[in-house]
Each structure stands twice: as structure tokens, then as C-alpha cells.
Structure 1
Amino acid sequence: MKKSLKALIIEDEELARNLLKSYLKDHPVLEIIGECENGFEGVQKINELKPDVVFLDIQMPKITGFEMLELLEHKPEIIFTTAYDQYALKAFDYNAVDYLLKPFSKERMLEAVEKVVDRIGNNENTHNKLEQLSSYAVNEYLNRIVVKDRHKINIIPVERVRYIESLDDYVLIYTPDGRHMKQKTMKYLESHLNPKDFIRIHRSYIVHVDHIAEIQQYEKESYVVILKDRTKLKVSKTGYKKIKDVLHF
């Protein structure tokens, strides 16, 4: 059978990359078109080479595998290669994306490959599965947000975030250094940012508590939040109640 699927390996450990290459070298369908040792390089290679499937480690330097998934323009199939089952197993159970728990055998890897080959052959919607995966993957509050601005990847610690604004299917993240656009929903960020630090004050705004300077009433039951840099943001009735609950006034 002619090789027809392009595969990319993203793994920070050279021994693990070599093991995968040795397991896959004689595969009749998959062709390895490249390898990367970190998520920064992985984003570039995926968007450039457009592989059909990626063998992806989760815990890597700079950015994690899950953070990398959020930055992709091209959406390949993902097979995890990881030693951390608390992430990969949950993601697999929720989205039926396969994983290889280290140490794994060649037989187990080939089983995972066959699942991906079948999925691609059945034209399943990889884009939706990957969106669900990157949304589900984080099971604790975010301590940083990764964004891609053209050819640059920025890692923003959440304490640097002043507020977040909704923009259709994107959000604008405001920091002291400027603003950054990210393809995420407000619902996702509201549920993944610590509610002690971030308040959804309006359907269009999430605010970092530490950046609130004052709250002003401008009409009956209508309020605005004024940030320390004097930015004014509307507050909904629900948002005002959340502010009172968090700030205890």
C-alpha cells in the first residue's frame, strides 16, 4: 500500500522521538515528514507542513502540548505520547482522541495509528474534536494564556491581564503592554480563570479584580467599573452582584 498520510512528531526527548521513528519507519500508510522538540517549533511546522497526524507530548518546555493546540491554524489528528495519564486519559475519554502512555509498545502505537487512519478514512470532523480537546484539556485554573501574534508566540501570566473583551468568536486580552487577540470564548475563559481573581462583569467583559479602582453608578441600577488606568467598562446586574460577592461590600 502506498504511503498516503503525513505524520509529524513533537516530543522534547530525543530518545522518545527515535523510538517513535523506529516504530513507524516501515508503516505502509504513514510517512514521517518532520520532528520538533518543543511546542513553538511544533506550531510553525504544523501550519507549514500541514501533517495529517501529529504525535504530541503534553509536558514540554516553553508551552505544553495543550497550549500548542490552541495556536494551530491547520488542524491535524492528534495522538498523545505522554507519561501523564491524568491529562491524556481524560482527554481521550471525552473526545476519543487516542494516547500512548509511556512506556508503550509498538503494538499499542500501531493500534492508535489504525484508529486515526480509520477516522481520516471516514472523514470525521477533526477540527471540532480538536476544539473540544483544547477546551477540555485544562482541569485546573489557568496561570497563563498563550497567544499567537502573527509569527510571534506570547506567554501572558494571568496576573498581567487587566481585562478581557468579547469579540465574536475571539477575545481581546488587555495587558499593560497592549492587547492580544485569541480564538477562545468568554465562557471558556470565565470557567478556566480563578473566580477569586477574575469577574465576568458583563457579557462582553471579564475583569481582573486587582485592576478595579472604583465602581460608579450612572443611572438607576446601572454601573460602570473604572480600572486603575481609568478605563471604563459597563457592568450588568449579574456582574454587579458578582463584584459585591467577591469584594464583600
Structure 2
Amino acid sequence: MSDKLNVLIVEDEELARDLLKSYLKDHPQINLLGECENGFEGVQKINELKPDLVFLDIQMPKITGFEMLQLLDHKPEIIFTTAYDQFALKAFEFNAVDYLLKPFSKDRLLTAIDKVASRVANQENNAEKLERLSEFSTGRYLDRVVVKDRHKISIILTGQIRYIESLDDYVMLYTEDGRHMKQKTMKFFETNLDPNDFIRIHRSYIVNVAHIAEIQQYEKESYLVILKDKTKLKVSKSGYKNLKDTLNF
């Protein structure tokens, strides 16, 4: 393996990118592959160039740094660079290498790079760490979901989701205009969607309350949810209880 770290910058502010480049330009271990000004471009470049390390801003236009992490095939080390400190503790809990609060000094940056070099030298498995980072929640319920289909990235508002179906390590999101696969668990969506709007009705299904047309009994203690578009979904016993508790019937 090369002694150099291949590095990519994903940051929407030009001044912040320029400062990072000035700090990095004389570092003997750094090979700067390039820079991206938004998360869409970041996903493409990270999967294409496969950097060892990404300096990643959190609050960016289009998609956030955390949303970007969910779309990566290649799993680099991550150092967050941000002006917002409210994510710092959680970022460390979810295995970011480091978290640089703007404005940061060159010495502080060099300390962070040393941490990355140590991880890479020890060949630590980064895929699981990045998966935990991408599961990070700000503590608010999701209002959108970002999905990638080949080279196309779509932002789906949660209100557009009719229901979600479990597919082992993936889920299928059924929306008003089609369906989208996402590498997330049902548990993630059950935890992060507003329970007043989305109900787990079966181990295989989470349904948007706004799209329910009726709940129909078809056998003793067996029920179906029928959506407004006539889709029929099985309801488990615990799912029926969830429906009763949320809809008050």
C-alpha cells in the first residue's frame, strides 16, 4: 500500500475548500485527488476515485453530509468539517475519525490526519463504521429520504411514500410515481419516521396512514390494509394493535 493518503474534499464553501487545500498542500502524506462543492458530486467522485479519506461538510445544499454517506459504494475514512457543533458528540459516537469545527487551525487538522493514518495503517474495517455514521439521526423525524439508482440520485419527501416493504438488508419504497430501493433496515425507518404518520403493520410492511382507504377483515383475526390505489397489504396481530393504538378505533 502507498504511504500517501488519497484525499477528497466535499465542501460547498469555496473559501473553506481553499483553506483546506492550503493546509494540505505541503503535507508529505497527502495526495489531494480533487474537490466537490455538493453531495451529489461527492457521491460520484468518491465511488469513482475511491479516496482513503474525505473531508466532509455536514450542512450542504441538495443533500447533507450524512445523507451522502448513505449513498456510497466505496467506504472512506471521514473527517467532518462544519460550522455547527450540535452534531459533534453524535459524530464521534458514530465513528467519524474526527470533527473539525470551523474555524480550525492547521495543527488541529494535522492531528486529525494522524488519526486517519493510524487507522489506515492498521487496516481497520471501515465499512461497518461508515454504516453506523450513515445511520446517524439528528433527533428529528425524517422528512425526506435520499436514494440512488445507478447514476441518478432522487430526494423523496416522506409524504410521497405510500408504503415500505422489507427486502432483507434493503427496503423498497413505494411512492406515488414509482418505487425505489434503499439499503436500510425496516428498523431504521420504524425508528426515524413519525409514528403518527407511518405504522408498522407487519414485519414486511410500514404504511403511510394518509394512504389507507380501509382495514378489512378476511378471516378470523386476519386483516388487510387496503390503500387508496387498491394495494392490499397483510396485517399481523401486532400490526393490528399498532393500527388501533394510532388510529383510535
Q: Is the 8 A contact 2:94 2:129 kept in 1?
A: no
Aligned to 2:24: 24
Identity of aligned residues (%): 74
CA distance in 1, matches of 2:71, 2:131: 11
What secondary structure does 1:47 align onto?
A: helix
Q: Give secondary structure in 1 for the equivalent of 2:194.
A: coil
TM-score normalised by structure 1 residue count: 0.97
1:142 corresponding residue in structure 2: 142
Q: Tell me, yes or no, if the aligned pair for 1:82 and 1:88 is still in contact at 8 Å.
A: no
Q: Deviations over 1:20-67 (max 9, x none)?
A: 000011111111110000000000000011100000000000000000
- CA 1:144–1:116: 2 relative to 1, 3 Å: same
Q: Report Cα offsets for 1:44-98 as digits up to 9, x if no partner.
A: 0000111000000000000000000000010100000011111133111342531
For residues 186 and 138 of structure 2, the distance between their equivalents in structure 1, rounded to whole angstroms, comes to 15
Secondary structure at the residue paired with 2:97?
coil
1:194 aligns with 2:207: no
In structure 2, what is the equivalent of residue 167 of structure 1?
A: 167
The corresponding residue for 1:112 is 112
- Residue in 2 that maps onto 1:215: 215
Structure 1 Cα separation of the partners of residues 58 and 227 of structure 2: 37
> Alpha-carbon deviation of 1:137?
3.7
1:242 is matched with 242
Matches within 5 A, 1:1-249: 4-249=4-249
Distance 2:89 2:115 in 1: 16
Aligned with 1:162: secondary structure? strand
Equivalent-residue separation in structure 2 for 1:145 and 1:96 (angstroms): 22
In structure 1, how many angstroms separate the alpha carbons of the residues matched to 2:76 and 2:177?
33
Contact 2:55 2:81 in 1 (8 A): yes
Shift of 1:219: 1.1
Secondary structure in 1 aligned to 2:7?
strand
Shift of 1:3: 5.2
- Give the Å deviation of 1:150: 1.0
CA contact (8 A) 2:97 2:112 kept: no
Deviations 1:90-126 (A, max 9, x none): 1113425311011100011111111111011111111
> Is the partner of 1:123 in helix, strand or coil?
coil
Query: 2:74 and 2:177 mapped to 1: Cα distance?
Result: 29
The amino acid across from 1:17 in the alignment is R
Residue identity in the other structure for 2:177: D
Secondary structure of 1:95's partner?
A: coil
Give the gaps of 5 or more residues in structure 2: none
Counterpart AA for 1:226 = I
**C-alpha distance in 2 between matches for 1:139 and 1:116:** 28
CA distance in 2, matches of 1:60, 1:25: 24
Secondary structure at the aligned position of 1:63 is classed as: coil
Q: What TM-score do you get using the length of structure 2 for normalisation?
A: 0.97
User: Which string of whole-angstrom CA distances, capped at 9 and with x for unpartnered residues, describes residues 153-209 of structure 1?
Assistant: 000000000000000110000001100001000000110000010001000000000
